[in-house]
Amino acid sequence: MTAGPSPQAGGPRAADDGATARELRKPGAGDHTPPPPESHGWLTRERVLAGALTLATLGVAYAAWQVLEPFVAVLTWAFVFAVLLEPLHEKLRKRMVSRPIVAALVVLLGVAAVTGPIVFLTQQVAREIAVGADRVRAGVSGDRWRETLDATPRLAAVADWIEQQVDVRAQVEATSQQVLDQARAVLKRSIFVAIGALMTLYVLFYFLRDQELIRGALRRHLPLARHEADHVFRAIVDTIRGVVFGTIVVSMLQGALGGLMFWWLGLPSPLMWGGVMALLSILPWGGAAIVWGPAAVMLAFNDQWQAALILTAWGAIVIGLIDNVLRPVLVRGRMRMHTIVVFVAMLGGLSAFGATGLVLGPIVFAAAFALLDIWRARMAEGEAVEDGIDPK
């Protein structure tokens, strides 16, 4: 009697056993794990958890902003000075080993370079403002201004019309009192400015000492690739240097030259008007000419034609060439924004953040444009992949 086919012989039973083994190897087969619960529409557990995490993140971000808001000026200026002093810091780091000593030395050099001129100019400008206000008030109350106008027939008719329309004496006295009150308020706020400066120096020390750690932490937490984060950092750094050297330094130099010419011609309050010209030089139109132009006209009305011509030539040639020649040299390769964009960013930042906005506004714009570049590059890569083109 012949034996039936064994499982090893590959008969029908072996085939059945193989099929059964394959079924058992399927995921979830042969175990008693209950099937996953069915989702009840759109509101799933994962989406609820994601929504809760989003709300918690927004709440923490808002609380963090409330904590950091009083220190925006301190952090901004510390970051700006860290960027400006970075070349000096790198040179000293090559010669000295200790990071804290190098950072402290750079901070001290920065303080010596900035604090001295600012304190001196602030004191001189405040003194000139007070003296000028007293001089204008005394001249109006003593009617000396009328004698001066009578000696200049060309201005007498204009002065008579203005006097009929406006109480010049009352307006001048009120303006002089306001100027003095503002000067006193500035002096009272000097203690808060000093505290803010000390805090800025404290933060600046750590920005210089731990700049590599800070940069690495930012790279890790930003949702950007390394080259994208470097692009954003580079745009911000270039903007800071372009704004400071191409706008602030050039404006201060124009104001200094304008004030120097006012002093040489014997015009009143040269430091004060030099500061005004420095502020107005930030404007894309007019600039320092808003001050030296009317001054030259007044000199011409007073028959001081030589002084008027000298002031006009100095303002148009020397001060104008500084703006048209020196600014492009300092800004070349740094600023990637148009002049009018920088102007709007500075004024908008000034309105939103005060004096800190002069640099914080352009920094925000630079970061925004850098992020737009990143989005544009990512979209171009996506379109290239869809078209079957290697984006690399």
pLDDT at 123 > cutoff 60:
yes
Whether the pLDDT of residue 74 is over 80: the answer is yes
Question: What pLDDT score was predicted for residue 15?
Answer: 47
The whole-number pLDDT of residue 320 equals: 79
**83 near 237, Cβ under 8 Å?**
yes
Q: Where are the domains of the chain?
A: 70-221, 224-383
pLDDT the model gives residue 105: 92
The answer to which of 28-42, 67-81, 241-255, 319-333 has the lowest mean pLDDT is 28-42
What is the DSSP track for 167-221?
A: -HHHHHHHHHHHHHHHHHHHHHTHHHHHHHHHHHHHHHHHHHHTHHHHHHHHHHH
Residue showing tokens 């600023």: 335
| Distance (Å) of CA 214 to CA 210, 211, 219, 221 | 6, 5, 9, 11
pLDDT digits (tens, 9 = 90+) for 363-384: 999 999 999 999 998 888 876 6
Tokens of 215: 């940069």
Instruction: Provide the Cα torsion 363, 364, 369, 373; round to 10°.
Output: 90
| Separation CA 238–CA 251 (nearest Å) | 18
Q: What is the mean pLDDT of residues 274-301?
A: 80
Task: For residue 246, give the amino acid letter.
Answer: G
CA–CA dist 123, 111 (Å, integer): 18
Q: What is the mean pLDDT of the chain?
A: 76
In angstroms, rounded to a whole number, what is the distance separating the alpha carbons of residues 31 and 18? 19
Q: Which tens digits make up the pLDDT trace of 165-206?
A: 555 556 656 665 666 666 666 666 667 777 888 899 999 999
**pLDDT per position as a tens digit, 79-101:** 999 998 998 899 988 888 788 89
pLDDT of res. 389: 61
Of 98-102, 176-180, 262-266, 344-348, give the lowest mean pLDDT range. Answer: 176-180
Residue 386 has a pLDDT of 62
For residues 43, 44, 48, 53, the Cα torsion angle rounded to the nearest 10 degrees is -130
pLDDT of residue 111: 86
Which amino acid, residue 122? T
Q: Is 97 helix (H, G, I), strand (E, B) or coil?
A: coil
CA distance 225 to 302: 66
Mean pLDDT of 123-144: 60
Which pLDDT value is given to residue 128? 65
As a residue count, the chain comes to: 392
Percent of the chain whose predicted confidence (pLDDT) is above 90: 15
Q: Which of 172, 234, 188 is nearest to 373 (CA)?
A: 234
Per the CB < 8 A criterion, the answer to whether 254 and 247 are in contact is no
Q: Name the maximum alpha-carbon separation found in the chain.
A: 150
Q: Which pLDDT value is given to residue 334?
A: 67
Phi and psi at residue 361, in whole multiples of 5°?
A: -60, -55
| pLDDT of 226 strictly over 70 | yes
